[in-house]
Structure formats: C-alpha cells, structure tokens
C-alpha cells in the first residue's frame, strides 16, 4: 500500500508541476492579446479559445495534485477534533460514497465525450478562429484517471491510519508561506533568547 501511495503522489505531483506551466503560457497569451488589441488595434481571433483551453487544462489537471497535498477546501471544524482512527473511517466511507462515483463518471463519460470529439475533429463553435478543441477534451478522462489513482492512494492512507492510528506522511512539495514565516520568526526568537 505504501509503495502505491508513493507512486500516486509522485505521479500527481509530476502532472501538477508540468501543467502549472500552463499559467505562464496563459499569461503570455493574455499579454500578447492586450498588446495586439490596444497598441496595434489588431486583436486576435484565436486568443479567447486559447486562454479558455489553457485555463481548462490547469483546472482539470491540478485536481489530483491538489488532492495529494490536501489543498482542497475542507469543512473540518468537527472532523479535526476526532482521533486519527475515526478520521480514517470517515474518509474511507466518504471516498466510496461521494468521491469515487463522481470521479468514475468523469473518467467514463469523459472518455466518451473526448472520443466523439476526436471522431468528428471538433472545433470551437463560439469563435471565428474555429480552433480545434478535441485535444483539450482528452484532458477530461485523463484528469478522471489521475483522480482515481490518487483516490485509491487516499483510501490506502485511510486504511493505514485505521490500522496504526497515525496518518502516513505526505510528500511535501511546497510549504505555505505562513508556516515558513512562523518558523523563521520562532527561530529568530530562539536566537534572541540565547
């Protein structure tokens, strides 16, 4: 189980980091559009659809990464007061009731949706540029598959927590700025005491 958790975390992190570069591409495309529209009075036809696809890629492909780092919004006012074993049982049950049905539907119907788009070589209907969108629609079942893999990893985490009473460690990719500042402040306070 632990080896699968490590594999899933590494896969989700790699995909999250790779697709985070879409933000840079999106920013460059937006800056290009602004310059073309306002400086040269020659707006592009393709940039709206391009930006939409980049944003969609970021949104869809970041789901598994966000799940692996526990960065999803969570209403844990009562949950955090429970013992880890109780938290593990709650997570285990809720993953099967809510998470997997939705994610399996995303992967299954997303595959049908994407395969139909590939079959007809679908282009955007709301733009005069008629940009191709069937490749972007392939990200729908791919994001569903990544979420399934990460979801299985989270179920394994819950099982390990139920067995041991402790949550398995997560792969730390980035640390919140607030935690870094708190640690720096505490280190400085300790130096002042010495």
**Whole-model pTM over 0.85:** no
Give the pLDDT of residue 190: 72
Q: What is the pLDDT of residues 158-184, one digit of tens each?
A: 999 999 999 998 886 556 666 776 777
Question: Which pLDDT belongs to residue 173?
Answer: 58
pLDDT digits (tens, 9 = 90+) for 138-160: 999 999 999 999 999 999 999 99
CB 153 within 8 A of CB 10: no
Contacts of residue 38, Cβ cutoff 8 Å, sequence gap at least 6 = none
Expressed in angstroms, the distance from the first to the final Cα of the chain is 45
- Confidence tier at 15 by pLDDT (50, 70, 90): very high
Task: Encode pLDDT of 31-51 as tens digits.
Answer: 999 999 999 999 988 888 888
Distance between CA atoms of residues 162 and 153, nearest Å: 14
């Amino acid at each position: 189980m632990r080896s699968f958790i490590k594999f899933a975390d590494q896969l989700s992190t790699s995909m999250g980091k790779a697709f985070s570069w879409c933000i840079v591409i999106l920013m460059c495309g937006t800056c290009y559009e602004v310059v073309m529209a306002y400086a040269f009075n020659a707006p592009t036809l393709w940039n709206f659809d391009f930006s939409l696809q980049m944003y969609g890629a970021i949104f869809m492909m970041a789901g598994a990464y966000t799940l692996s780092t526990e960065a999803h919004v969570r209403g844990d006012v009562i949950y955090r007061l429970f013992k880890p074993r109780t938290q593990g049982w709650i997570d285990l049950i809720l993953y099967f009731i809510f998470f997997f049905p939705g994610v399996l539907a995303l992967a299954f119907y997303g595959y049908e949706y994407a395969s139909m788009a590939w079959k007809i070589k679908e282009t955007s209907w709301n733009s005069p540029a008629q940009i191709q969108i069937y490749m972007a629609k392939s990200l729908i079942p791919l994001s569903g598959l990544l979420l399934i893999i990460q979801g299985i990893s989270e179920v394994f985490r819950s099982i390990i927590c139920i067995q041991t009473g402790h949550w398995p460690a997560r792969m730390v990719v980035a640390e919140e700025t607030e935690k870094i500042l708190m640690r720096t402040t505490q280190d400085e306070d300790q130096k002042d005491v010495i």
